[in-house]
Chain A
Amino acid sequence: MSDALKSKINDVFNEPACGHNVNKTEQQRKKGCAKPLTPGAAAGGCAFDGAKIVLQPIVDVAHLVHAPLACEGNGWDNRGAASSGSERYRTGFTTDLTELDIVMGHGEKKLFRSIREVIEAENPPAVFVYATCVPALIGDDIDAVCKAATQTFGVPCIPVNAPGYVGSKNLGNKLAGEAMLDHVIGTVEPAECTPYDLNFVGDYNLSGELWQVKPLLDRLGIRILGSLSADARYKQVAMMHRARVTMMVCSKALINVARKLEENYGIPYFEGSFYGISDTSDSLRQMCRIMIERGAAPELMDRCEALIAEEEANIWAQLEQFRPRVAGKKVLLYTGGHKSWSVVAALQELGMEVIGTSVRKATEGDKDRVKDIMGDDKHMFDNMAPKDMYRLLKEAKADVLMSGGRSQFVALKAKMPWVDVNQEKHEPYAGYMGMVDLVRAIDRAVNNPMWADLRGPAPWDEPVASQGAYVPPLRGTCPVTNASTPGVTIPVADAAFGPSSDTDFEDC
């Protein structure tokens, strides 16, 4: 690992804005927050995967993966980040390193040629070059190649240095953010700035969730200037340094970006979420409050409150029609983070019972909030093995599992309704209107008449009354199932003994 990358990782791990990190002793901090992975019991993506998740949604950039086939070949076009413009981000560009390239040390040259070809073919605003394990191992200097390519072709070529073996997906998220801070943010000036300019950090517009929220911002006259990276154009990343406030959406994955935007450019940030009704309203309020502090007209808050009041009344009226269909249903919530608390509150409001929730990635503060919402802590659990979850679901202790894709088949194989609430989901559940979609999805899942049929007995599970007639026992061996009746063999034609058999083995 190059010294530059090493110091970058140390820097990322030493995050002053991270609650975990601040509470650590000096010695713990030195170790970094990388948990050693257990061979044979690890799950999840690598740092490269994490970097790709953060940056791939930038729609007009050519994302070029410098790697042997698997890194891009097995992973391209597999996420649902939506674009309102260019579709270039869906194209998988890779150097597809072969054995010969690696042995002969052709990696850097091939990368340079690939950059030239992608610029000639696509004319992108920028090329993002991703390092992976093998080029890092053989010592390809992608920073130098990118620098040379930028000078030669006049198109920004941005090195994203997050080879898989340096760590987890989360670390990759942060390293991607660092690459943007180092090379992109602050390189383009907007034509004009307004006090209503917003940065979105940590949202990826999966299934178009951004657009469920954008109408609210449009009505308030708030402009999304910078985005990392929901429906983002390259310029929107390059202009992030001119926004008035940064909203860090849902996750701490890019907290380094939010903090450094504040340190370097004086843009305050807040953590907010658009999942659930109360969180959506709170986020809008915070956003407006900071904008007013930084020069927006104070009447913004009045408009904001009016909007919230109108939207909340409207959405509760819409949700009310689902109450009879979902009230009393028992929900098991298994998500990684804590983004769903506001959702839980809304579900409880509709009469649903949340019987358990995972707190595996939650902080102490989060856990307190769970206790607040759920009344006590007996419903909290840490990691649950698939086997145990299967048993819990099989015993029908819940009516529906809400989780990410990893436990999808645990639920389905236990004949349990399942609602996808993680990042790979295909339906958007953000903002006020997303809440209706979510409750509709729950209704559709738990009230599907199919479940009763599927859980019912098979024809042979119950004794059949005899029809009275005598049926002789089966004879011979079935070549399809190999079931046989003892003592009886089926005649098989033998070439030596005459013509073919007229037995049809197929239809025994």
Chain B
Amino acid sequence: MARITHPKRALSTNPLKSSAPLGAALAYLGMDGAVPLFHGSQGCTAFAMVHLVRHFKEAVPLQTTAMNEVSTILGGADQIEEAIENLRKKSNPRFIGIASTALTETRGEDVVGELKDIVARRSDFADTAIVYASTPDFSGGMEDGWAKAVEAIVAALLPDIDPVFRKTEPRQVNLLCGSYLTPVEIEEIVRLIRAFGLSPIVLPDISTSLDGHMSDNWSGTSLGGTTRADVARMTESAFTLAIGESMRGAAKLIEDRAFVPYRVFQSVTGLKPVDALVRTLMGVSGQPDAPPSVKRDRSRLIDAALDAHFHIGGLKVAMGADPDLLFALSNCLSGMGAQIVTAVSTTTANPVAERVPADTVLIGDLGDLERHAGQSGAQMLITHAHGRHAAQRLQLPLLRAGFPIFDRLGAQDICRVGYRGTRAFLYEVANIVQARHHRARPEDFGAAPIPEEFEHDPHPASH
């Protein structure tokens, strides 16, 4: 049980978290034909867009209500309406996800009320689903914004169900994806689910919109993702699998609305967490056994763990990430004998932070991570790409995890979930350890070197 602490300082040095609206935008991009819309000044959108483009290396549709001084003071309802109208004219999106920003939240706008008005008045907007989440920059980080957006999608697009006449599809399950899952990780979980003869509805599904593919046409909206009809069908599912503690709210909402039972998987990285998922899939699919390929993957993971534990056991790791990701990876490494000597996270909203296998979890920034990693003798840093400067100064290897990763290609292809992803993750960590080859010297143990008179070549150090 980790203690959650806040550093006593006013200055934040090298932010670890990305903003909540950015998380919401990313979740919205997991909807089909979507354009996320920031309710704020245009800079809020520009920064977030550059951030997303640098990570995914894709054109990212993201728009703004372009609040100026006057509209900030008088209220931005007209700006929202105009933005929706212009977006529909320009790129005809099937889905518009609105996220508020610090600017409009500081003023305190009743966007929910205004939006209701607009939608009631503008019947011509009917074929575009419009969803709103309140995501002020000053509260929480990317994970919180993502979670709020998913809850907003569920709240807005899931129809009300009469429990007596509920239609059910026994082989259909809902998969709620936490903010840290990459497109390929979603694919991996989907594969696992399908291996049990179940068919998942994924929400939000960035595995088809941000996986990096060529399309035949230029589109001003997302190029794939969960459709509006899929979301409506979620009421018929037999079960909801929520990946990441931050998805509990959305899972609960689906249960309340449509009586679909759920289970939250705080992690799907590591042998035991994946076992738990597989047990659930066996139960839901009514199979007392798992398919051979899954069994094979599990036995390969066990073999990988045997090989990797020599390198991971005792390894001192400093990690900084949003709570869900922090828990998933640190829990896996700790289960392999590594020591999480420094854990830094971004937000207090997620209770999973208390379960991180470290003495304390600091709600802080990369400056804290760097300082504590240096003091605690960490041998490896795990955080996003901005950690490269800290890693360089500390002369430690950096394993890139989280968002953003802008200095390596293929961020969307990193897979650290399921039996196969865990196997790859263990190899990744073990290989980083092995790459820092240390050749033993007599001096390391306090022994004197061989006397120079025996050497054919003179000692390099003495000349």
Contact = CB atoms under 8 A, between A and B. Distances in A.
Contacts of A73: 15, 17-19
A70 B21 contact: yes
A507 B86 contact: no
Interface string A98-122: 1101100000011101100110010
Interface stretch (B64-72, B261-269, B329-337): B64-72
A504 B138 contact: no
B141 A69 contact: yes
A495 B136 contact: no
B42 interface: yes
Contacts of B79: 39
Interface in B178-220: 191, 194-197, 199, 214-215, 217-218, 220
Contacts of B294: 506
Interface stretch (B100-108, B110-118, B153-161, B238-246): B100-108
A295 interface: no
Contacts of B63: 40-42
Contact of A98 (B40, B41, B139): B139
A496 interface: yes
A277 interface: no
A214 B397 CA distance: 36
Contacts of B14: 76, 91-92
A507 B194 CA distance: 11
A465 interface: no
Contact of A495 (B42, B44, B137, B288): B288
B408 interface: no
Nearest to B43: A46
Contacts of B40: 133
B46 A44 contact: yes
Given A73-B17, A137-B72, A95 B11 contact: yes
Contacts of B287: 493-495, 500-501
B286 A506 contact: no
Contacts of A45: 42-43, 46-47
A204 interface: no
Contact of A94 (B12, B47, B139, B191): B12
Contacts of B137: 68-71
Interface string B145-158: 00000000000000
A328 to B, nearest CB: 27
B43 A49 contact: yes
A40 B194 contact: no
B15 A94 contact: yes
B228 interface: no
A164 interface: yes
Contacts of A1: 69
A437 to B, nearest CB: 22
A99 B139 CA distance: 6
Interface residues of B, number: 78
B218 A386 contact: yes
B221 to A, nearest CB: 12
B41 A504 contact: no
B10 interface: yes
A127 B11 CA distance: 13
A30 interface: no
Contacts of A97: 102, 138
B92 to A, nearest CB: 11
A480 B138 contact: no
Contacts of B68: 36-37, 165-167
Contacts of B44: 46, 70, 164
Nearest to A112: B10
A28 interface: no
B286 A505 contact: no
Contacts of B291: 501, 503-506
A193 B142 CA distance: 52
Which of A47, A76, A91, A96 has the most chain B CB atoms closer than 10 A to its own CB? A96
A70 to B, nearest CB: 4
B58 interface: yes
A70 B47 contact: yes
B37 interface: yes
B15 A76 contact: yes
Given A40-B87, A42-B64, A70-B21, A505 B196 contact: yes
A39 B35 CA distance: 13
Contact of A90 (B138, B196, B218, B389): B389
Nearest to A109: B10
Contacts of B127: none
B9 A500 contact: no
Nearest to A1: B69
Nearest to B385: A77
Interface string A465-508: 00000000000000110100000000011111001111111110
A90 B191 CA distance: 42
Contacts of B293: 504, 506-507
B22 interface: yes
A188 B44 CA distance: 36
A369 B389 CA distance: 45
A409 interface: yes
B82 interface: yes
Nearest to B215: A413
Given A1-B69, A40-B86, A133-B41, A117 B47 contact: no
A92 B18 CA distance: 13
Contacts of B309: none
A114 B365 CA distance: 14
A447 to B, nearest CB: 22
Contact of B43 (A77, A164, A391): A164
Nearest to A505: B195
Contacts of A68: 19, 102, 136-138
Interface in B287-303: 287-294
Interface string A27-57: 0000000001111111111111100000000
Contacts of B217: 390
A274 interface: no
Nearest to A481: B194
Contacts of A138: 106
Given A117-B10, A134-B106, A506-B191, A70 B48 contact: yes
B90 A44 contact: no
B196 A74 contact: no
B83 interface: yes
A72 interface: yes
A75 B291 CA distance: 46
Given A39-B83, A165-B69, A137 B292 contact: no
A410 interface: yes
A49 B107 CA distance: 21
Contact of A413 (B21, B59, B90, B103): B59
A262 B216 CA distance: 55
Contact of A110 (B10, B43, B288): B10
A44 B84 contact: no
Contacts of B22: 70, 74
B233 interface: no
Contacts of A479: 194-195, 197, 199
A41 B86 contact: yes
A321 interface: no
Interface in A219-251: none
Interface in A370-392: 386-387, 390-391
Nearest to B214: A413
B51 A40 contact: no
A141 B387 CA distance: 33
Given A41-B63, A505-B195, A48 B43 contact: yes
Contact of A387 (B42, B102, B139, B218): B218
14 contacts: A41-B63, A92-B13, A92-B15, A93-B12, A99-B138, A101-B138, A114-B11, A134-B102, A408-B59, A410-B59, A413-B214, A495-B288, A502-B292, A506-B195
Given A74-B19, A495-B286, 5 more contacts: A68-B19, A98-B138, A113-B11, A117-B9, A506-B194
The 7 A-B pairs at the shortest CB distance, nearest first, are namely A46-B43, A500-B289, A40-B83, A40-B86, A70-B19, A113-B10, A39-B83
